Amino acid sequence: MIILGIESSCDETAAAVMENNDRLLADVVNSQIEVHGKYGGVVPELASRKHMENIHPVVTEALNQAGITLKQVEGIAVTRGPGLIGSLLIGVSYAKALAMVGNIPYTGIDHMAGHLLSVLLSEQKPSFPYIALVASGGHSSIYAVYDSRRFKLIGQTRDDAAGEAFDKVAKILDLGYPGGPAISKLAENGNPEKIFFPRSWLEPDSFDFSFSGIKTAVANYVNTRIMPAGRSTGTESITHRDAPAPIVHDICASFQEAVIDVLAEKTIKAALQYKINNVVLCGGVAANRRLRKLTGERGSEAGLEVFMPPVQYCTDNAAMIALAGSFLLPEKGLYSYDMDVYSRVALNERI
């Protein structure tokens, strides 16, 4: 079965073509980083406009890359939430139009389900069940994944997502958007033990996260220890683009360590408590090398096997949506044309 996947939940317009669950024929991602970069975060209205411009060329490019025409598409899978409503509506309306024109079955996919299944695009795939950490700009959650359609939510962030914390700290340090790649790069030459930023462990039996405190801790550190008294904004003197001061590397390394310590520890603890031996990292923050290394080390110490998708499938993409669709479509067939989008509903249990 040939499935066309479409993703437009945030600031990536993406399309992919997948054959029979396992052959990716095309994978196109158009990122809007340049549009939103100067604002330090995604501007929803600009994102919708860019999706409008990009959706048709991106889908056309995916079909061309796969060497097929719309007539050969046997199912369409499109992200219906959670995400930015305006952005989601572009992808979903476009998918509905294609489905209608080509009389093709289509289905809505939960973006989190896409991330949770993205590891199955790797060469080394875990078998079900597995415990998965999804850490991205919008979410930090731990799930038990029992099969391609059953996901149990075990813990989630109570305030900021991990990626959001990276992005906000990058803003404080004037490092640009998105913050994760910039911070992790500078952290490579910093001392993670230089500054102790607090870890928010919450209640001992909780798998929830909280990352808003650490962002404030970094802001306080910068304002009180680095900036001259009385000056509360502006970090130009320490974050010079070509050569950030050594302390910036240390702040990045120490901040990163505090976030990753909690993410890795709670994920491993969940696997042990649920007696599930396979652990998966996914979502944009799973591109972080330090998170991959630390979870890998702690996992093998605990006798667990840790799997992570290649970096291009950690950040938003449509291959994961096509894959999720290839599990759903043969069974579910056609959604009605009034299928709606949603901004927030947390994926739990069956999709």
Binding site for ligand KG4 (CB under 6 A): 10, 136-138, 163, 166-167, 178-181, 184, 283-285, 287-288, 315-316
Phi/psi for 260 (5° steps) reads: -70, -35
Q: CA-to-CA distance for 342 and 44, rounded, in angstroms?
A: 15
Q: Which does 163 bind (CB under 5 to 8 A by kind): Zn ion, ligand KG4, none?
A: ligand KG4
DSSP lists the bridge partners of residue 281 as 133
Please say which residue, 84 or 104, places its beta carbon nearer to ligand KG4: 84
Question: Please, what's the b/e burial string for 110-123 (b: 16 or more CB within 10 A of its CB; e: otherwise)?
Answer: bbbbbbbbbbbbee
Tell me if 14 sits within 8 A of 88, measured CB to CB.
no
Give the nearest distance from C-beta 97 to ligand KG4 in angstroms. Answer: 25
**Binding of residue 164 to Zn ion (CB under 5 A):** no
**Residue from 244, 316, 325, 326 in contact with Zn ion (CB under 5 A):** 316
Radius of gyration of the chain (CA): 20
Q: Which does 278 bind (CB under 5 to 8 A by kind): ligand KG4, Zn ion, none?
A: none
Span interacting with Zn ion, options 65-73, 305-313, 316-324, 342-350, rule CB under 5 A: 316-324
Span interacting with Zn ion, options 62-70, 100-108, 202-210, 314-322, rule CB under 5 A: 314-322
Q: Which residue has the tokens 């001992």?
A: 204
By CB under 5 A, how many residues form the interface with Zn ion? Answer: 2
Q: CA-to-CA distance for 306 and 131, rounded, in angstroms?
A: 10
Please say which residue, 337 or 342, places its beta carbon nearer to Zn ion: 342
Give the nearest distance from C-beta 338 to Zn ion in angstroms. Answer: 25
Binding to Zn ion by CB under 5 A, coded x per residue (else -) over 88-127, reads: ----------------------------------------
Q: Which does 181 bind (CB under 5 to 8 A by kind): ligand KG4, Zn ion, none?
A: ligand KG4
Q: Which two tokens stand for residue 22?
A: 């396992």
Decide: helix, strand or coil at residue 345.
Answer: coil
Nearest to 39 by CA among 219, 137, 164, 177: 177
SS (H, E, C) 318-330: CHHHHHHHHHHHH
Q: Which does 288 bind (CB under 5 to 8 A by kind): Zn ion, ligand KG4, none?
A: ligand KG4
